[in-house]
Amino acid sequence: MQPNKLYLNGEWIATDQSLEIINPATEETIGRVCTIDRDGVKTALNHARDAFEGWRSLPAKTRADYLLSIASKMNDRGEEIAKTIIQENGKPLAESRTEVAVAVDHFRWFAEECRRSYGRWIPNQVAGKRHLVIKSPVGVVGAISPWNFPLFLSARKIAPALAAGCPVIHKPSELTPLCAIAMAQAIDDADIPKGVFQLILGDAKMIGEEMLENPICRKITFTGSTAVGKSLIRGAAADVKKLSLELGGQAPLIVFDDADLNRAVEGALAAKFRNAGQSCIAANRFYVQRGIYDRFVEAFVARVRAMKVGDGLEAGVEIGPMVRERGLQSALAQVQDAIDRGAKLMCGGKRLARKGFFLEPTVLANVAVDSLCMREETFAPVAPIVQFTEESEAIRMANDSWAGLSAYCFTSNLDRAFRVMERLEAGTIGINDGVPSTSIAPFGGLKQSGWGRELGSEGLDAFLETKHVSFGMSE
């Protein structure tokens, strides 16, 4: 099997090292991708530095046109890319197609925002002075992305950085680099100037260290675990390297007595089981009010039992495998821990007796709030449900977490919706909405869920520096 090449300084380059890619539904090797060493990372950074001046100097409209071209090349190959996502990540076809569509939309959104990186003119305070605020690209960007949404989590870093005028070096997850290669192909097909975008793969820690220590790299944008995010923060201290971090989540989902039951069940299914629960905004802690508790649990469990689990390529599959054995084992341990503490297993809870990392979608009722699954990030199709009585109790439990990425609330009471949204400690809140994230609105976390925002207009700002220019002049 010939390893796939990396994209460096406008060329596809082979190296003598590679790593293998596994299909989580079959545990078979589906490909290999080349890797580089630390000197290779340094060389990529040098190329990016050399490309910076030319790229930032282009009119914003020209950069926008490149982004639109990338979007259309990705769209043209959408079906092929969706199949790649299924094969290396495991998610079902419908979700993979959505992922491509969202990634394409990210490029389109930032092509539009590219033309709006406005500064401002400040009315003068004293005679003989004028003040201007201008925006400049931050410089060379290192983008490190994870495996769970391998295409769009990369796109929401690469597109705004390019739009802002920054060269980008992308380091995808070693579990899902084939999607990144597909995106790099679209970028190459759009004839982007050499060195403006590069794709590397190799030892993650080494690459992170080079990006942190090399002064050419001005910013690292990272999505991944809170543990690695913290290590990047420590490493960034030496040179005060700029970081954007989208880290773990442990989203609460609150269902009030006054909720529309059907909406709450459908919203909860979407918020919980997308990508087999392996999403940083997945609903991981369900709080359901006493008056609706039995009806919600019954309707929710009925829908979960009916979900078809299998290889994402099979027709009608709604839940694919988890990405690897480690995640599956930690989910099984969380389920056992909850049962040991008195939870009732309503459905699922077992590994499927077949090849691949399949876990049955699982619902646990009457879960103790100190169970592992209520405290640690659950990156799995496991829904633990807790009963509550008062609104204030639900808000307190929802906020009682190290994480603050997203939260969900189902209610038909407008006053309550406002009270709850104002108090929930989360960067993204879905009110009667299980799929709140979109290109057009900012996304990021409070507390240990990260620093900064992606998407929206904030997503472009993350790659721009703000400068104040003061003019002395004669009136």
H-assigned helices in 77-149 = 78-89, 93-113
Q: For ligand ADP, which is the closer residue by CB, 129 or 230?
A: 230
**DSSP symbols for 373-398:** HHHS---SSEEEEEEE--HHHHHHHH
- Asked whether position 257 contacts ligand ADP by CB under 6 A, the answer is no
CA 167 – CA 178 distance, rounded (Å): 21
**CA 167/CA 275 separation, integer angstroms:** 31
Closer to ligand ADP by Cβ: residue 264 or 359: 359
Q: Which amino acid is at 60?
A: A
Structure tokens at 231: 């290590």
Report in angstroms how near the CB of residue 176 gets to ligand ADP at its nearest: 9
> Which pairing describes strands 140-144 and 362-365: parallel, antiparallel, or unpaired?
unpaired
Span interacting with ligand ADP, options 145-153, 297-305, 382-390, 440-448, rule CB under 6 A: 145-153
Give 203 or 257: the residue with its C-beta nearer to ligand ADP: 203
User: From residue 199 to residue 238, what is the string marking binding to ligand ADP with x (rule CB under 6 A)?
Assistant: -----xx--x---------------xx--x--x-------
Query: In this structure, what token pair is assigned to residue 290?
Result: 């006493």
Given a contact cutoff of 8 angstroms between Cβ atoms, the answer to whether 42 and 210 are in contact is: yes
- Reduced to 3 states (helix: H, G, I; strand: E, B; else coil), residue 12 is strand
User: Rule CB under 6 A: which of 340-369 touch ligand ADP?
Assistant: none
> Is 246 marked active-site?
yes
* Cβ distance to ligand ADP smaller for residue 289 or 378: 378
Binding to ligand ADP by residue 144, rule CB under 6 A?
yes
Centre a 10 Å sphere on the Cβ of residue 21 and count the other Cβ atoms it contains.
22
Answer yes or no whether residue 146 interacts with ligand ADP by CB under 6 A: yes
Of the residues 34, 280, 347, 409, which is catalytic?
280
Question: Tokens standing for 192?
Answer: 């982007």
Q: State the minimum distance, in angstroms, from the CB of residue 262 to ligand ADP.
A: 33
Smallest distance from the beta carbon of 233 to ligand ADP, in angstroms?
11
Q: Which is nearer to ligand ADP, 177 or 267 (CB)?
A: 177
Name which of 227 and 473 has its Cβ closer to ligand ADP: 227
CB of 171 to ligand ADP, least distance (A): 6
Instruction: Quickly count: other Cβ atoms within 10 Å of residue 339's Cβ.
Output: 15
Residue 161 CB, shortest distance to ligand ADP, in Å, is: 16
Contact positions with ligand ADP (CB under 6 A) in 153-182? 171, 173-174
Angle between helices 78-89 and 177-189 (to 10 degrees): 160
Count of residues interacting with ligand ADP (CB under 6 A) = 14
Please tell me whether residue 346 adopts helix, strand or coil conformation.
strand
Give the full edge-to-edge strand order of the sheet including 464-472.
120-122, 129-137, 464-472
> Is 445 a residue that touches ligand ADP (CB under 6 A)?
no
C-alpha span between 283 and 269 (Å, rounded): 9
Pick the catalytic residue: 246, 318, 377, 425? 246
Structure tokens at 463: 């790659």
Rg (CA), the chain: 23
Shortest Cβ 326–ligand ADP spacing (Å): 8
Q: How far is the CB of 83 from ligand ADP (least distance, A)?
A: 22
Q: Which residue has the tokens 């049962």?
A: 339
Total count of residues recorded for the chain: 475
Rounded Cα gap, residues 93 and 80, in angstroms: 11
- Does residue 116 belong to the site contacting ligand ADP (CB under 6 A)? no
Q: CB-wise, 154 or 289, nearer to ligand ADP?
A: 154
Nearer to ligand ADP, 205 or 308 (CB): 205
Q: How far is the CB of 220 from ligand ADP (least distance, A)?
A: 8
Dihedral sign for Cα 159, 164, 165, 169, please.
negative
Strands of the 6-8 sheet, one edge to the other: 11-13, 6-8, 197-199, 168-171, 140-144, 217-223, 242-246, 450-451
Type of residue numbered 4: N
At residue 64, the 3 state secondary structure works out as helix
Shortest distance (Å) from residue 224 CB to ligand ADP: 3
Token couple for 409:
């609330």
Question: At which residue do the structure tokens 């002395």 appear?
Answer: 472
Is 280 considered catalytic here? yes
Query: Which segment (144-152, 256-264, 287-295, 408-416) binds ligand ADP by CB under 6 A?
Result: 144-152
Task: Please identify, using beta-carbon distances, which residue of 174 and 266 lies nearer to ligand ADP.
Answer: 174
Site string for ligand ADP, 83-102 (x = CB under 6 A): --------------------
Q: Which residues are part of the catalytic machinery?
A: 246, 280
Binding residues for ligand ADP, rule: CB under 6 A, are 144-147, 171, 173-174, 204-205, 208, 224-225, 228, 231
